[in-house]
Structure formats: C-alpha cells, structure tokens
Amino acid sequence: MEIRKICAWCKKDLGSIPTVGYQPQNAISHGICPDCLRNFFDFGSQSMEEFLERFEHPVFLVDSNGRTIYANKKSLSLLDKSLQEVTGQLSGDVFECIHAIEGCGQTVHCKSCTIRNTVNKTFKTGESCLNVPAYPDLHHITKENKVRYLISTKKQGNAVILSINDISEEKK
C-alpha cells in the first residue's frame, strides 16, 4: 500500500510513501516542500534536520499560525509520533491539548494558552523567551495531575523555534 504525501503549505505533490499494515482513513500524509521550507528559514549549507537535531531538548519549528514545520527526534519520541503525523499540524493537536478538539486557537481557553501566546509574542516582537511555565490542558490524559512545560522560543527566519526544556507533573 502507498499513500500520497503532499506539502502541508502549498499542497504540492511530494510523491507517495509506503504504508505498513493499515491504510489510514485519510490517505494523505503531510510534509514540507523545499520551496516552502526556504520561505520559512534559510538553513544555508546545513539541512533543517542537522540544525534541529543539534538541540539538546525537544524542539519544534512552527510557523506564524502555530503550524509545525518540523520536529526533532527528541520531540517525536516525547510525543510518540512520527514526523508525518505532526508536520502541518497546529500545536494543540501536536501536544494533544483537550481544547484542540474544537480547533486549536478557537476556544475561550486558547486566549490564555501560554504556548500560543509565547510563540505569538516572539513572532511579533522578535524577542526570545526563556523557560516560561506553560500548563497545556492534558487532564484527559493525566487526570487530576497538572502537567507543566518549561518552554523557550526564538525567532529564526519566518519561523519560531519552540523548545520544551522541562516537563513535570504536579500531583494533586
């Protein structure tokens, strides 16, 4: 079986990829084409992979709408997801925030979302933020325990590097 892979930004065809075993309902997989990638960030002679794999923490490269352009291996193992599952997805879907069911950014809770606000601030001002405590709503997974992320953001080209520096679970 094969599924079609398209660029999540310009919808350009990126060929097809083999699937093992099951056929997903929506048989389209997302990636990013080299042209769209260059619009976000000029990596010079290195590749995006080389650039992001050098970070010691899980990092995500996101666009100004909070869509994931790329996630390094540390973040994929943290989320237990593949790169194709997160590319082009909004942060709330990537982190499995409960409010993302209604659309990441579409609920009243989203106005106070630290991840969203921190990424937006860095996009607007160009300022980096360091170790900001964020509490994504993951109670559907962690029950009464509260999950705290320490996040950092840095503007890089037309993208923001979102880094998860620490994760802890505050027990009730």
Question: Is residue 10 at the binding interface for Zn ion, with CB under 5 A as the rule?
Answer: yes
Q: Is 104 exposed, middle or buried (0-12, 13-18, 19+ CB in 10 A)?
A: buried
Binders in 93-112 for Zn ion, by CB under 5 A: none
Question: Is residue 36 at the binding interface for Zn ion, with CB under 5 A as the rule?
Answer: yes
* One of 5, 6, 7, 40 touching Zn ion (CB under 5 A): 7
Instruction: Please give the radius of gyration of the chain, using alpha carbons only, rounded to the nearest integer.
Output: 16
d(CA 165, CA 101) in angstroms, rounded, equals 26
CB of 125 to Zn ion, least distance (A): 27
Task: For CA atoms 44, 64, 76, 18, give the dihedral sign.
Answer: negative
Site size with Zn ion, rule: CB under 5 A: 6
Question: Is residue 9 at the binding interface for Zn ion, with CB under 5 A as the rule?
Answer: yes
Positions that interact with Zn ion (CB under 5 A):
7, 9-10, 12, 33, 36
